[in-house]
């Protein structure tokens, strides 16, 4: 048995009798990963972090987001800045366009912050029916938000 | 005298074995770098799309007087997609088995934009009127098409069952 010979697993035994792993292939892999990561590295980053509960729609838009009042519409809930506000199931079948919980939340926050902005950012799950989006937009417009933008995943 | 100086002067290790480069420090550096880069990596880039509400909704009431000005409207429904100007349905594109005819819509929009330019005061404005059951991703797709066709200002609205009847 030749102990100095490399095995099929890339392990070899040195003359001192200890096994030494062949790190060459591992270095190759690491170098490839490193090149890939440096290539994809972005110094700009994302100013806005999409909510983890949402699967945002894909778009060809390239306009960079700016910080605004954020309203998140998940499949089952309406949230703002991570705070649960209302359940979408409760309002999906209603005729009324206004979501009272969202309206009062927006009004309260606006009063506390003494903010007069009219810009709102909607983060909406891609599978949410338009009926819910419409109600959220209507409620926001009642709370004096009239300039909307929607967060999307930029298509590569 | 021997001519080969290289062979005479070649340095060998003390044990006479071939030297091996110690790559463990390189590996350590790679691991640190890869971890750092993965933690900082941005794999998905986000963007925004801006839109407005129709002028007769909410606080953004249209203060302008006189006759309402005509805008092209894209009606998005699960039965058909349509291009509407005022109360006139210009094009109707049927939705077959849940497949929206986005390519045809883009071509038709391009054509209609040129045709309606003299009648429409807002050549770069369009309204997307969607039915309630439509998934939001389809609305975004239509918004993309409108933007690529040259409509820089997009408004979102609610669609009627029959645009010509207004119901």
What does the domain layout of chain A look like in residue ranges?
11-40, 58-154
Q: Does the pLDDT at position A155 exceed 90?
A: no
**pLDDT the model gives residue A127:** 92
Q: Mean pLDDT across chain B, nearest whole number?
A: 78
Measured over the CA atoms of residue A108, residue A86, residue A75 and residue B78, the dihedral's sign is negative
Q: pTM for the full model?
A: 0.73
Q: Which range is least confidently modeled, A83-87, B120-124, B142-146? A: B120-124
Residues 6+ apart with CB under 8 A from A87: A76, A77, A78
pLDDT digit string, tens, across residues B20-29: 778 888 888 8
Q: How far apart are CA B81 and CA B102, in angstroms?
A: 9
**pLDDT the model gives residue A6:** 47
pLDDT digit string, tens, across residues B31-65: 898 888 888 777 778 888 988 876 655 444 444 55
Q: Does the pLDDT at position B134 exceed 80?
A: yes
The two counts, helices (H) then strands (E), for chain B are 4, 6
Q: Does the pLDDT at position B140 exceed 90?
A: yes
Q: Which residues of A touch B34 (CB under 8 A)?
A: 30, 33-34, 37
> Per the CB < 8 Å rule, is A61 touching B59?
no
Q: Enumerate domains of chain B plus CATH numbers.
A: 5-40 (no CATH), 72-158 (3.30.420.270)
Q: Does the pLDDT at position B129 exceed 80?
A: yes
> Using 50, 70 and 90 to split pLDDT, how confident is the model at B12?
low
Q: Does the pLDDT at position A7 exceed 60?
A: no
Tokens, residue A147: 């300039």
Residues 24-53 of A with CB under 8 A from B: 24, 26-27, 30-31, 33-34, 37-38, 40-42, 44-46, 48, 50
Contact between residue B131 and residue B78 where contact means Cβ atoms under 8 Å apart: yes
pLDDT digit string, tens, across residues A98-107: 899 999 999 9
Residue pairs between chains A and B whose CB atoms are closer than 8 Å: 156
Residue A97 in contact with partner chain B when CB distance is under 8 A: no
**pLDDT the model gives residue B138:** 94
pLDDT digit string, tens, across residues A66-92: 888 889 999 888 998 888 998 888 777
Q: Which residues of B touch A64 (CB under 8 A)?
A: 47-48
Which of B41, B48, B137 is facing A61, going by the closest CB pair?
B48
Residue B56 per-residue DSSP state: T
Specify the long-range contacts of residues B32-39, CB closer than 8 Å, at least 24 apart: B33/A34, B34/A30, B34/A33, B34/A34, B34/A37, B37/A34, B37/A37, B37/A38, B37/A41, B38/A37
Q: Does the pLDDT at position B96 exceed 70?
A: yes
Q: How far apart are CA B167 and CA B161, in angstroms?
A: 6
Residue of A nearest to B40 (CA): A41
Q: How far apart are CA B110 and CA A60, in angstroms?
A: 18
């Amino acid at each position: 048995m030749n102990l100095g010979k490399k095995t099929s697993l890339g392990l070899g035994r040195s003359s001192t009798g200890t096994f030494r792993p062949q790190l060459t292939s591992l270095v190759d892999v690491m170098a490839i990963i490193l090149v890939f990561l440096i290539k994809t590295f972005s110094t700009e980053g994302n100013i806005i972090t999409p909510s983890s509960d949402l699967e945002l729609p894909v778009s060809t838009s390239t306009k960079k987001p700016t910080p605004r009042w954020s309203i998140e519409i998940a499949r089952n809930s309406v949230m703002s800045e991570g705070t649960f506000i209302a359940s979408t199931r409760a309002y999906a079948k209603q005729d009324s366009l206004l979501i009272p919980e969202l309206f009062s939340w927006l009004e309260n926050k606006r009063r506390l912050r003494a903010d007069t902005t009219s810009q709102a950012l909607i983060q909406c799950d891609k599978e949410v029916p338009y009926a819910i989006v419409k109600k959220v937009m209507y409620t926001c417009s009642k709370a004096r938000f009239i300039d909307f933008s929607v967060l999307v995943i930029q298509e590569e | 005298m021997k001519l080969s100086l290289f062979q005479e002067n070649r340095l060998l290790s003390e044990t006479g074995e071939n030297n091996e480069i110690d790559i463990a420090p390189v590996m350590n550096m790679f691991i640190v770098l890869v971890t750092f880069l993965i933690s900082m990596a941005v794999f998905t880039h986000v963007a925004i799309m801006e839109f407005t509400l129709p002028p007769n909704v909410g606080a953004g009431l249209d203060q302008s007087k006189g006759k309402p000005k005509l805008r092209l409207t894209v009606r998005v429904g699960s039965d058909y997609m349509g291009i509407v100007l005022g109360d006139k349905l210009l094009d109707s594109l049927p939705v077959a088995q849940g497949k929206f005819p986005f390519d045809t819509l883009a071509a038709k929009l391009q054509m209609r934009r040129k045709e309606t330019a003299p009648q429409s005061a807002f050549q770069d404005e369009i309204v997307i009127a969607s039915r309630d059951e439509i998934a939001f991703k389809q609305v975004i797709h239509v918004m993309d098409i409108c933007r690529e066709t040259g409509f820089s200002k997009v408004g979102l609205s609610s669609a009627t069952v029959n645009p010509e009847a207004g119901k």
